[in-house]
């Protein structure tokens, strides 16, 4: 089938593959607009011709919220819609970016802006960052991305939640009757609440985000005994104690090993000596070519019983890259963006568990203990379905009032939006390689336990795997119905702002309609 044009914009056919390499779609009609007007013409043409559009950035998600086939789809490549377009200091520090801007590009641009003596570190930053430099702002805001971090001092902005909570305003293509237009949204507008995390039901062109003065952080990696890190109470060396002490903490626990990998990043004054000056300098894993990761995944899918040996080898490699006696220093963005694109391709069951600040260790202990119990039960039966790790990070909940903007609405579908009396969010992933036997069954059993153990304090992490049955992710009808009910208030706004249904995907359609 030949290439076509959408109004004044040429369309070509491309292939797309997601992070886990479980979704690959060939021959997708793709447009690459350079301006907002070109993007608008594509959306209007698609609506008139009966197509749907899917803005795409780095395609680094796991879930099929974008597309699963090329039928009736126009992908809008955001690679030309990038860059910082403005910065203001009043009423609060704020930067405006085009939605195709990557985190690495944003970090570099922000460090070059005068912070007027607010900090010794150069420029501006977010309080914390997701770890992947290549992810785009548009992609992060679609699913409510997050890093790891809590507010520790009164002089820090109360903004250690998801990236979506940092949004002050944005420009999006929405419908006005049968015509699509570019509309500006402010954070205090009711409609904005449904678009701050939209799951692909909207097309954001640019976004204005709250900034804080950049800071210096020091990084260390510890290898504590798992019974200390995941202890029942918040004793010294526990995850909760480390979070309270350092602010930003990530823990990785590989099956059948005794020592988790715990890296923490602590705010500090300027430190003389070598400093990290660009993303990806700090790392926990080596660069892994695609050919290696493909072979590795196939090996584990056919020989899962070698998992304990592989995990011990992985832990040894991490100790080599990040020895416990080493220290790293640098600015937040350069330090916190450490996940290289060429790394092991995996799939993750991922949820956000809400808790009061004094309940964090209780949640951590429950998650880790259940994980360990199930691993040994499956191993006793001769199965090893989890070939990577349990990952844990902790953040504050989203607090719209921390923006300093009167009337700021919450991000309605953010997994970080407070639930009842929650103050913290424990984000966790169960990570395995695609194709591992009984992985879906393990996920389904663990997920069922989650909903029983933490009723009313649980939300799925949209970009990863959830609603898992033995048939795979996004197939458990009971959990899908829970999610459908949870997003129903946002659906009303989506329908009104997209009258021709130009934004959507099969998974999103299932969530929007019974």
The residues facing 347 across adjacent strands are 432
Residues of the chain with CATH 3.30.465.10: 84-214
**What CATH number should be reported for the domain whose range is 5-77?**
3.30.43.10
Residues of the chain with CATH 3.40.462.10: 216-400+414-475
Residues of the chain with CATH 3.30.43.10: 5-77
Q: Work out the percent of the chain whose per-residue pLDDT is above 90.
A: 77
Helix (H, G, I), strand (E, B) or coil at 4: coil
For the chain, what is the largest distance between any 2 Cα atoms, rounded to a whole number of angstroms?
65
d(CA 351, CA 459): 6
Ranges assigned E (strand) in 160-227: 167-176, 179-186, 204-210, 212-213, 216-222
Contact call for residues 361 and 234 (beta carbons, < 8 A): yes
d(CA 349, CA 328): 31
**What CATH number should be reported for the domain whose range is 216-400+414-475?**
3.40.462.10
Confidence at residue 197, expressed as pLDDT on a 0 to 100 scale: 98
User: Per mean pLDDT, which range of 22-36, 198-212, 291-305, 385-399 is the poorest?
Assistant: 291-305
Q: Flag whether pLDDT at 423 surpasses 90.
A: yes
Contact call for residues 111 and 213 (beta carbons, < 8 A): no
* CB contact set of 351 (below 8 Å; sequence gap of 6+): 415, 427, 428, 447, 450, 458, 459, 460, 461, 466
Confidence at residue 165, expressed as pLDDT on a 0 to 100 scale: 98
84-214 fold? 3.30.465
Confidence at residue 341, expressed as pLDDT on a 0 to 100 scale: 64
User: Per mean pLDDT, which range of 113-117, 305-309, 435-439 is the poorest?
Assistant: 305-309
d(CA 198, CA 207): 14
Confidence at residue 1, expressed as pLDDT on a 0 to 100 scale: 39
User: Per mean pLDDT, which range of 120-124, 280-284, 389-393, 460-464 is the poorest?
Assistant: 280-284
Confidence at residue 444, expressed as pLDDT on a 0 to 100 scale: 98
The residues facing 5 across adjacent strands are 10
State the pTM of this model. 0.95
Contact call for residues 285 and 242 (beta carbons, < 8 A): no
Contact call for residues 152 and 247 (beta carbons, < 8 A): yes
Indicate the pLDDT class of residue 343, thresholds 50, 70 and 90: low
């Amino acid at each position: 089938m030949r290439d076509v044009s959408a109004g004044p914009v040429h369309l070509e056919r491309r292939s797309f593959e997601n992070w886990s390499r479980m979704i690959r779609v060939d021959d997708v009609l793709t447009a690459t607009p350079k301006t907002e007007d070109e993007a608008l013409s594509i959306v209007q043409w698609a609506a008139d011709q009966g197509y749907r559009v899917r803005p795409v950035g780095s395609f680094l998600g796991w879930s099929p919220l974008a597309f699963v086939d090329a039928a009736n789809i126009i992908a809008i490549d955001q690679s030309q819609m990038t860059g910082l377009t403005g910065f203001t200091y009043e009423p609060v520090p704020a930067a405006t970016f085009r939605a195709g801007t990557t985190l690495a590009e944003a970090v570099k641009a922000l460090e070059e802006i005068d912070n007027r003596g607010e900090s010794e570190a150069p420029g501006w930053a977010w309080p914390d960052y997701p770890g992947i430099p290549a992810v785009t702002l548009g992609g992060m805001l679609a699913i409510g991305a997050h890093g790891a971090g809590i507010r520790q001092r009164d002089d820090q902005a109360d903004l250690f939640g998801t990236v979506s909570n940092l949004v002050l305003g944005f420009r999006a293509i929405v419908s006005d009757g049968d015509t699509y237009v570019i509309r500006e949204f402010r954070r205090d507008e009711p409609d904005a609440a449904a678009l701050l995390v939209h799951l692909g039901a909207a097309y954001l062109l640019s976004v204005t985000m709250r900034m804080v003065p950049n800071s210096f952080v020091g990084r260390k990696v510890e290898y504590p005994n798992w019974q200390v890190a995941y202890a029942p109470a918040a004793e010294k060396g526990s995850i909760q104690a480390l979070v309270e002490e350092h602010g930003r903490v990530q823990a990785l626990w590989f099956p059948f090993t005794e020592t988790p990998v715990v890296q923490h990043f602590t705010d500090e004054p300027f430190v003389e000596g070598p400093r990290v000056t660009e993303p990806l300098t700090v790392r926990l894993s080596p660069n892994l070519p695609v050919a290696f990761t493909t072979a590795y995944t196939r090996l584990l899918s056919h020989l899962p019983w070698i998992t304990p040996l592989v995990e011990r080898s992985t832990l040894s490699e991490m100790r080599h890259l990040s020895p416990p006696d080493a220290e790293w220093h640098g600015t937040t963005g350069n330090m916190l963006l450490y996940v290289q694109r060429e790394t092991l391709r995996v799939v993750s069951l991922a949820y956000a568990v809400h808790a009061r600040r004094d309940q964090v260790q209780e949640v951590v202990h429950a998650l880790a203990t259940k994980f360990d119990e199930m691993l040994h039960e499956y191993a006793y039966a001769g199965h090893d379905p989890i070939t990577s790790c349990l990952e844990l990070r902790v953040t504050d909940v989203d607090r719209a009032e921390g923006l300093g903007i009167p009337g700021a609405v919450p991000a309605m579908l953010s997994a970080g939006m407070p639930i009842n009396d929650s103050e913290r969010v424990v984000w966790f992933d169960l990570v395995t390689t695609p194709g591992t036997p009984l992985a879906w069954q393990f996920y389904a059993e663990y997920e069922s336990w989650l909903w029983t153990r933490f009723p009313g304090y649980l939300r799925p992490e949209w970009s990863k795997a959830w609603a898992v049955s033995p048939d795979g992710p996004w197939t458990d009808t009971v959990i899908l119905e829970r999610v459908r009910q949870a997003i129903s208030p946002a659906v009303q706004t989506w329908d009104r702002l997209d009258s021709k249904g130009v934004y959507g995907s099969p998974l999103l359609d299932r969530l929007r309609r019974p």
